[in-house]
Structure 1
């Protein structure tokens, strides 16, 4: 395998589709806001990803701190890790596994 194809396989989602910093931030914020209507699930998800809610002083700190949790460097966020955190959260992972089992049976 050439170095070029190896690099392509190891490229992050943000690099492959050339997401802007704003787009990266939106993806990461959307993961958080998906849990907004269910505070108990939000707390459990934050525990799953290692995000310490008790470190926040006010609710207005939540989004900047959440982005900071996934920030790699100025203007670059780890979208891959955020998506992996979501995909490995037990309720989501169970749904993914169920879908994959259903598709493998259909083949």
Structure 2
């Protein structure tokens, strides 16, 4: 159990570190729409709703070297769900309607 807690903490810290490094004031040359497949690590972090009490953080990594995928791996960590909150949405007729919607985790990642 201690190893799982350490792993979850390390995964969340990595995700937070990656997002924090993404600054809106970055120079445009720091942004890219494609991965350099000659030497890069591509990471995606998503949160899936498992049930009313749990969410799953899915972290996927693809290691690119010399133009091909050298390795890919995925980690899944179960975390507490944040519950739901009333949210205002528009129906098909354009009228505002209040519905219950699941709260979403914010993901912050810093890269050094």
Shorter-normalised TM-score: what interval?
A: under 0.3
Q: Of Structure 1 and Structure 2, which has the larger fraction of its residues in helix?
A: 1
Q: Of Structure 1 and Structure 2, which has the larger fraction of its residues in strand?
A: 2
TM-score, with length taken from structure 1: 0.27
Which one has a bigger Cα radius of gyration?
2
TM-score, with length taken from structure 2: 0.26
